[in-house]
Structure 1
Amino acid sequence: MKITDISRNTDKKQKEYRFGAYCRVSSDKDDQIHSFLAQLKYFREYAKTHEGYTLVDIYADEGITGTCMEKRDEFLRMIKDCKDGKINRIVAKSVSRFARNNEELLATIRELKNIGVSLYFEKECIDTENMSSEFMVSLFGMQAQQESVNISENMRWSYQARMERGEFNTCKAPLGYKLEDGKLIVVEKEALIVRRVFDLYLSGIGMQQIADIFNEEGVLKKHGFPKWHNRTIAYILNNERYMGDVRLQKKYTTDTFPFKLKLNKGEKGQYYVENSNPAIISKEEFQAAQRLIESKGQKDGKKIDSVFKGILLCPECSCAMRRMKNDSGYFWCCRNAVSKRSDCSLHIIYENELSRACERLQKKLFDNCDILIGRTIDYLEQIITMNEDRREEIHHIDVEIKAATDRNHRLASLRVKNVISDEEFAKGKFEIMNTLSRLKYERKKLLAFDKNDESIDSLILLKETIEKSLNQYDESVIRDTVDAIVVQDDGMLLFRMIGGLRFRERINV
């Protein structure tokens, strides 16, 4: 028997690599410039010393966590360029620089392999193009992940020790303040908004009404975000920072990987520090607001307002239903039918039946949050840029952003070749960065006024609220996420949620 090898000729032409280099640079602006320059020079030399290699771009994220890819803009831009066919190889110094989440690391490698993009990790000498097994990269990925766990544990210990000694303040300044050298400094322009929130609330205007007033007036939140919610107002009214005190560790990061931020409901210690920062309002005003919040929810130990007040609607006249009481307990019915101002039926429904229906709906939403809400958010995000009214403007801004980014890379190249001085480079660099910041803000502002974007804001709020409930029925979840409940004749309740979602739930099960 004669066997002839008829496979293709093995004399392959040298493969051409259009490669992108991924790195992480210091979050310090001055160090960023030197770090980026050094890495640009290194990878240009890398291309010269490796036959068939052409450097397409350097993707440099600030020195933030590598455990979550969603937080790294440059990483996501690099993946997009891979999918668009701009690069067919990625070079990274090490696995730990690329990702510290082993699950996401392997998923990314597989995704890129499917579209013909290979990765090379210099420190570990791992080339996914010639890799027959994921074992080695997984091993280094687990090591990088464990390093992240150790760093996180050390950071948590450090925060805890500083809290106990009274040395820790905050990592992020709330509206009305800025953080300088670890201390909170009052920003008077923002402080005026905070004082106005307290003044309006103490004058009898509700949280949602205050949010509506700010939205109508175009008052901007911190960092220029335009949309106000009643939860934003509630956060301000309940934040003891504004009277100069602070309760530390309201939230905590879980000990296990992947790390998640959770509300502290007694799982960790908390510390109350008086006079920790300059006050924006007096203690008397803050305490008066707290008393008013309590009085609106409770009086003499009994609730005076039901969670269903104002949101439970008659299916015939669409007016808010009225709460009444008989020997069987509280029930709701059409107020116009009771007062004989319409020919509506009473549509009687007992409050305990309402609560059980709400509890069932909340459980269903919690169990299927990613499917019911998460996928809707993803879909809306995909169609935002398809809005014909603003598509052209967004496109022009995208072109300008690309041009500014190209200028940034050309500037770095000129500095490497000593065509321009350090002073000229620094000046040009900051001018470009300011331009990019302005363009990105304008792009975000265009999207912010899109109805789909508003829906996304509301849906994100809905998803976060449901997830924070931890599958335990809480009336505040209904209050914060339900716009209206319509009693229907077929024994069903129609729930109109924030963000435009609609769900039906049977009254009696």
Structure 2
Amino acid sequence: MLINYRIAIYARVSTEEQAEFGYSIDAQLDTLRAYCNLHQKTIVGEYVDRGVSGKSIDGRYELQKLLRDAKQGLFDEVLVWKINRISRRTIDLLKIVEELGQQRITFRSFSENFETETAMGKFALQMLGAVGELERNTIVDNVRMGMKQRARSGQWNGGKVLGYRSSQVVRGQRHRKDSTLEIVPEEADIVRKIFELYASGKGLKAIANQINHEGHKTKRGNAFSTDSIKQIILNPVYVGKIRYLQHEHWNERRRKGKNDTPILVDGSHDSIISDDLWEKVQLLQSSKAVTSSRNFDGKYTLTGLMKCPQCGAAMVASRTVNTLKDGTKIIRRYYSCGNFKSKGSSVCRANSVKADYAEAFVYQRLKEVINNDRILKDIISTMNQHKKGNTVPLQNELHHIIQKADSIEGKRQKYFGLFEEELVDRETLANRLDELKAEKERLLARKSEIEWELSNDSSQLVDFEYVRAILGQLEHLLFKASTEQIKSLLHLVIKQINVKNRKIEAIELNFNEEMQKHFLCAPSDDESEGASSISRQRPTLYRFTLVI
């Protein structure tokens, strides 16, 4: 008896791969379709991620859609052109294949043809996955080694820095192009002013406030903040130096990857400030860094959650200290606009909200919603009524994208006709076809993203019992948590807190995968309404926001 296997095709290409190696989506799809046709296999779905790196699954909406459809049993086999199309990280590859295996779905690669359900097949998969990861890491290491060597020779490795522009210089008999820095006079004046103001005794916020009031902008066109001012006065590029590898593996480690021994050499570019001014500023900065004026006790549990009603920036910890006639000091805590705190009054106002009021209001409102079924039911009912209506703009955009993508084929045929009539030359035709192809790739990538958002947002309504169970677990954890734990829990649950007229207007609860996973897996002290009972009742919901 001939079994008709249902095949799901997955294809992916990053922008760099397509440009360098020609791993086009069309080539992958044509190859896989021909294979299925030859072996009489039925293609039930094609999942294509365009212009996305394979180093992780973030932003790969088609792969996420494939894994979701696998759980629903929509196909029997997943077919890819090469194993590294699924992932270039061995751990992600094995995890995806294992997840497919749990659904009794076979994973097959056209180029590396073997069965993944056998012992030897699994071994081969692991080896090929490791080879793919080694290949990627080798390329990364070679690029990094080359950039280190360029830095050691005083060359600029690229990037935007205020006061300079990057330009290409041809060097040597082989006409190698190197990046170098040229001074931008009007930007250099801003840099000198910042150094001179700091040397005169002004603080970071005072400098940012003055520079912003004068109408100056950063290299990216934003207002200056205390952090951007600090980065400027600590950057040795302005004294003619090249500093490289201050942080290693930034994508994974962020600031924890700080390198204690970065490359620091004389650069081939001209300096903007003098050695004397640089040394004076560094001496002042190091003396100020010894003691911090911030002495907050860490009890600001809503820091970053409240949004400024004027500019939308996160509101941060603030306080005032008033001294009474008898010498008693009274400390008043507030949440104030982060932009005002770091960039000054030219950007926004303080818009301060009393911290005691805000924290008490949020805790009370959460408790009120958790313990009053009627309030929670009304909130969920209202949200469900508007849930599908909110998808209309996305549906309209999707319809527009489909129409525009379809029209590109007509444009291609038009240029072919002009070429046949000798009204355009071969080079013009090739350039225009490349532009149309790139435009279609962008449209289809956005189409995948919208379809993913729509399927997550409107596939099912929010269940009252499920939400109540998760919020009940939240109350259970908050009751016994420390201040730092409460802060972490609130940041996990609350998307943002909206403020109006120095009062809290609404609290948006963020039911995303991470939040639900946390509460579904959280340990419970009893067998009544614990997280384990929730996980037995129903699977994790998709993302949604609950406004209370």
TM range (shorter): 0.5 to 0.7
Which residue, out of 222, 227, 232, partners 2:228?
232
Does 2:269 align with 1:277? yes
Does 2:70 align with 1:80? no
Is 1:201–1:210's contact at 8 Å kept on the other side of the alignment? yes
Is 2:81–2:110's contact at 8 Å kept on the other side of the alignment? yes
Is 1:100–1:148's contact at 8 Å kept on the other side of the alignment? yes
Which residue, out of 135, 141, 156, partners 1:169?
156
Does 2:340 align with 1:340? no
Which residue, out of 83, 87, 92, partners 2:80?
92
Query: After superposition, where does 1:180-219 map in structure 2 within 5 Å?
Result: 180=168, 182-184=178-180, 197-198=194-195, 201=198, 205-209=202-206
Q: Deviations over 1:433-490 (max 9, x none)?
A: 78899999xxxxxxxxxxxxxxxxxxxxxxxxxxxxxxxxxxxxxxxxxxxxxxxxxx
Shift in Å at residue 272 of structure 1? 0.4
Query: After superposition, where does 1:115-194 map in structure 2 within 5 Å?
Result: 118-128=106-116, 134-164=122-152, 166=153, 168-175=155-162, 177-178=165-166, 180=168, 182-184=178-180
- What residue ranges of structure 1 are gaps of 5+ in the alignment? 1-10, 322-334, 346-385, 441-491, 503-509
Query: After superposition, where does 1:297-312 map in structure 2 within 5 Å?
Result: 297-298=286-287, 306-309=291-294, 311=296
Residue aligning to 2:436: 428
Is 2:241–2:265's contact at 8 Å kept on the other side of the alignment? yes
Q: Deviations over 1:368-398 (max 9, x none)?
A: xxxxxxxxxxxxxxxxxx9x99998997368
| SS of alignment partner, residue 126 of structure 1 | coil
| SS of alignment partner, residue 323 of structure 2 | helix
Residue aligning to 2:92: 104
Shift in Å at residue 235 of structure 1? 1.7
- Paired with 2:216 and 2:399, the residues of 1 have a C-alpha distance of 31
**Are residues 49 and 407 of structure 1, via their aligned partners in 2, closer, same or farther at CA, if it must alter by over 3 Å?**
farther
- Paired with 2:17 and 2:443, the residues of 1 have a C-alpha distance of 19
Paired letter, 1:241: V
Is 1:69–1:76's contact at 8 Å kept on the other side of the alignment? no
Does 2:56 align with 1:69? yes
Number of corresponding residues = 363
- Paired with 1:163 and 1:133, the residues of 2 have a C-alpha distance of 45
Deviates more, 1:46-55 or 1:229-238: 46-55
**Are residues 27 and 418 of structure 1, via their aligned partners in 2, closer, same or farther at CA, if it must alter by over 3 Å?**
same
Is 1:184–1:278's contact at 8 Å kept on the other side of the alignment? no
Shift in Å at residue 238 of structure 1? 1.3
- Paired with 1:96 and 1:202, the residues of 2 have a C-alpha distance of 54
Which residue, out of 388, 396, 402, partners 2:393?
396
Is 2:17–2:23's contact at 8 Å kept on the other side of the alignment? no
Paired letter, 2:68: K
Paired letter, 1:20: Y
Q: Deviations over 1:206-241 (max 9, x none)?
A: 3345567889999876667x6865333322221122
Query: After superposition, where does 1:249-398 map in structure 2 within 5 Å?
Result: 249-252=245-248, 262-266=257-261, 270-274=263-267, 276-277=268-269, 282-284=272-274, 288=277, 291-298=280-287, 306-309=291-294, 311=296, 336=323, 340=326, 342=328, 396=393
- Paired with 1:237 and 1:439, the residues of 2 have a C-alpha distance of 44
Which residue, out of 237, 241, 246, partners 2:237?
241
**Are residues 178 and 236 of structure 1, via their aligned partners in 2, closer, same or farther at CA, if it must alter by over 3 Å?**
same
Shift in Å at residue 108 of structure 1? 2.0
Is 1:215–1:228's contact at 8 Å kept on the other side of the alignment? yes
Deviates more, 1:136-145 or 1:146-155: 146-155
Is 1:20–1:90's contact at 8 Å kept on the other side of the alignment? yes
Does 2:7 align with 1:17? yes
Paired letter, 1:292: V
Is 2:405–2:443's contact at 8 Å kept on the other side of the alignment? no
Does 2:43 align with 1:53? yes
Paired letter, 1:264: N
Is 1:173–1:184's contact at 8 Å kept on the other side of the alignment? no
Paired letter, 1:273: D
Q: Deviations over 1:144-175 (max 9, x none)?
A: 333344444444444444444x1743143445
Is 2:245–2:263's contact at 8 Å kept on the other side of the alignment? yes
| SS of alignment partner, residue 69 of structure 1 | coil
- Paired with 2:47 and 2:78, the residues of 1 have a C-alpha distance of 10
Shift in Å at residue 141 of structure 1? 1.8
| SS of alignment partner, residue 265 of structure 1 | coil
| SS of alignment partner, residue 257 of structure 2 | strand
- Paired with 1:389 and 1:191, the residues of 2 have a C-alpha distance of 53
- Paired with 1:219 and 1:116, the residues of 2 have a C-alpha distance of 61
- Paired with 1:111 and 1:102, the residues of 2 have a C-alpha distance of 14
Paired letter, 2:433: F
- Paired with 1:416 and 1:259, the residues of 2 have a C-alpha distance of 49
Paired letter, 2:156: N
Is 1:21–1:90's contact at 8 Å kept on the other side of the alignment? no
Paired letter, 1:35: S
| SS of alignment partner, residue 48 of structure 2 | strand
Is 1:95–1:124's contact at 8 Å kept on the other side of the alignment? yes
Of all paired residues, the percent bearing the same amino acid is 18
**Are residues 217 and 98 of structure 1, via their aligned partners in 2, closer, same or farther at CA, if it must alter by over 3 Å?**
farther
- Paired with 2:414 and 2:30, the residues of 1 have a C-alpha distance of 9
Is 1:244–1:277's contact at 8 Å kept on the other side of the alignment? yes
Paired letter, 1:19: I
- Paired with 2:98 and 2:294, the residues of 1 have a C-alpha distance of 52
